[in-house]
A and B are shown apart, each in its own frame.
Chain A
Amino acid sequence: MKLWVTAASIVLTGAVRAEVLLSEDEIQKTLSFGPWPPIVQSDPSNRVSRDSRAITLGAALFNDPVLSVDGAFSCASCHDPEQAFATSEAQALGRVLLDRNTPSLRNLAGLRWYGWGGKSDNLWAASLHPIIEEQELAHSKESLKTAISESSYVSDYETIFGSIQVQEPELVLVNTAKTISAYLETLGTERTQFDDFRDALERRDLAAAANYPAAAQRGLQLFLGRGNCVLCHNGPRFSNNEFHDAGVPYFLNETEVDEGRFGGLNFLLSSAYTLDGDWSDDPDKKGAWAVRSVRRSHSDFGTFRTPSLRGVAETAPYMHDGSLIDLDAVIRHYSKIDAERLHADGEAILSALNLSEREIADLVAFLATLSKVP
């Protein structure tokens, strides 16, 4: 009998081995990465935001080559719904090889900036530019209007927006982009193992929280602590949605550079399709404060928008130029970052972390829990 009790207590100690490693302060910081999914408001600058007819039409157009001038490809050619709305090429292949990596299109509703350089301040403008971009779908306003008019989508379009024939080509372009935007607003990443952990911590259910792997917990501790990742990758999307130099070279070749935020701001400030412009449907111009008051500075050169880390394990390769093949490579990049190569006039945040092999594995394990379980 006595033996039995001992055996049982041994099993018990084994079972409580799994524990929450985080300090109270780390728990508080962890709560700021949720709850998930976030509550998103409809987009006041887009009158067809949340309109189910617009969402259906936008989804169909997104996948249809009718949006390219010669029927050569669609949005989905680069943003493949089967591959988390991205592709596995380092740099996107349009009519030529583009300079940048294709980002996933999930969790985009309600952001302050879109694109690696933040050239758009709203989702319908970010959906509009590729339609007329010469290296992408390459329509003109006129050819787009003709293509939609002659397509099988014309009746759906007219149910939402009225007769297409009386509309200026530019209005057709903006309306089309707004249906795609309405569709993209519906794309989000699912809850993950990390969210279960975070919510268990919030409920103070430490037994449930302890199911979260120890390696991921140690990775999270590094993310919050010595790694300083949380300085830029913060909030429920793990991004502050601002622009930084993460030490990725921005030279395209010997003479050209990717201007990053610097070029993005130039584009934005001459664009007709901002929240401050006439094509916004919002009489209150909510959100226009950002384009009105954003500052330009030389240190914007070669900075890029902090990417969200939700679903990140599904979207290799990484960085604005797709130069790092997997998450292990990203962590090794931060571990060995060359502070000398960071902009002289830039911010002083990143420095080589010199992580151990175990620490690298822990950070990768943590990042993996931000994606769906394979």
Chain B
Amino acid sequence: MGSETQNAPAVHVAAAAIPLAQPFSILVTICGETAVSEVRVDAIMPAHQHGLNYAPKVTAISDRLFRVDDMLFHMPGLWELQVNVDFNGRSVSYTSEIALK
């Protein structure tokens, strides 16, 4: 994922094929050594001025691996996935674009 913060630890997102208007899950991996205190996930459709109708549920699988459930993209088009990671009080935002058919 991309971030505007300099030297931000790398973050990777893994998802199987994303279904339209059906719930899905993703895995978020956070690289580096800095301890992670919290991960928040959201998404918006920049072209349509709306976000997710359901709040994603984040569960820690390990210190650096998080599972995100209850994601649902209710329209085809370009979605912007937003991941916010709290590294010991320092919050870093990441985004990544997902085109859904």
Contacts and interface: CB of A to CB of B under 8 A. Distances in A.
Contacts of A348: 47-49
Interface residues of A, number: 22
A230 B48 contact: no
Interface in A207-244: 230-232, 234-235, 240-243
Interface in A300-355: 346-349
Contacts of B23: 289-290
B75 interface: yes
Nearest to A234: B20
A293 B75 contact: no
Interface of A: prevailing SS: loop
A29 interface: yes
A235 B53 contact: no
Contacts of A243: 53
B20 A240 contact: yes
Contacts of B45: 347
A143 B56 CA distance: 43
A293 B21 contact: no
A32 B20 contact: yes
Nearest to B73: A240
B54 A240 contact: no
A348 B76 CA distance: 14
Contacts of A28: 101
Given A242-B74, A293-B70, A235 B20 contact: yes
B50 A347 contact: yes
Which of A243, A293, A294, A347 gathers the greatest number of chain B CB atoms within 10 Å? A293
B30 to A, nearest CB: 23
A88 interface: no
Given A242-B21, A293-B54, A347-B48, 7 more contacts: A29-B101, A235-B20, A240-B75, A242-B74, A293-B57, A346-B50, A347-B50
14 contacts: A28-B101, A32-B20, A231-B75, A234-B76, A240-B75, A241-B21, A293-B54, A293-B56, A294-B53, A295-B53, A295-B55, A347-B48, A348-B48, A348-B49
